[in-house]
């Protein structure tokens, strides 16, 4: 009887430790789930992902982007930038969506919508759960 009680206690401690470990990884993923994508002229871009907050992610993305850039947030999502290869300084499109496939499609559509002739994905990034 004593052996089974000790074995049961060990199993309970193992299950508790496993639960805490899994719960801890979920906390880390949720805590570091902010990102940003900076977009500039002529295909310039910068990305930042898995930051603790949106402001820090925006600043990091803007640092990577050359020239005058605008940052968009992506929290647990993906962002993509499409440019017109016929005129890289012309039409472009971007999108932020929960999944990469819809993000890439929407960014390409946006580029064509604004007059692009040969729109291609220039860059993309996903943050945490994106």
Q: pTM, whole model, 2 decimals?
A: 0.70
Q: Mean pLDDT: which of 6-15, 22-31, 52-61, 108-117 is highest?
A: 108-117
Give 85: exposed, middle or buried? Use CB within 10 Å, 0-12, 13-18, 19+.
middle
Per-residue model confidence (pLDDT) at position 25? 45
pLDDT tens track for 15-54: 555 555 554 444 444 455 788 999 999 999 999 988 888 9
Specify the pLDDT at position 19.
57
Phi-psi region of 41 (alpha: psi -120 to 50; beta: other; left: phi over 0): beta
pLDDT tens digit sequence for 60-78: 999 999 989 999 998 888 9
pLDDT at 26: 44
d(CA 121, CA 95) in angstroms, rounded, equals: 11
Domain ranges of the chain: 1-31, 32-126
Report the alpha-carbon distance of residue 117 to residue 62 in Å, rounded.
Answer: 28
| 25 exposure class (CB count in 10 Å sphere: 0-12, 13-18, 19+) | exposed
């Amino acid at each position: 009887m004593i052996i089974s009680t000790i074995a049961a206690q060990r199993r309970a401690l193992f299950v508790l430790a496993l639960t805490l470990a899994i719960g801890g990884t979920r906390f880390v993923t949720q805590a570091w789930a902010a990102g940003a994508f900076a977009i500039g002229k002529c295909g310039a871009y910068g990305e930042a992902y898995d930051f603790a907050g949106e402001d820090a992610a925006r600043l990091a993305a803007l640092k990577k982007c050359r020239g005058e850039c605008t940052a968009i947030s992506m929290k647990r999502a993906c962002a993509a930038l499409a440019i017109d290869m016929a005129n890289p300084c012309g039409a472009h499109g971007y999108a932020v969506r929960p999944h990469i496939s819809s993000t890439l499609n929407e960014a390409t559509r946006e580029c064509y919508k604004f007059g692009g002739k040969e729109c291609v994905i220039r860059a993309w990034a996903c943050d945490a759960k994106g």
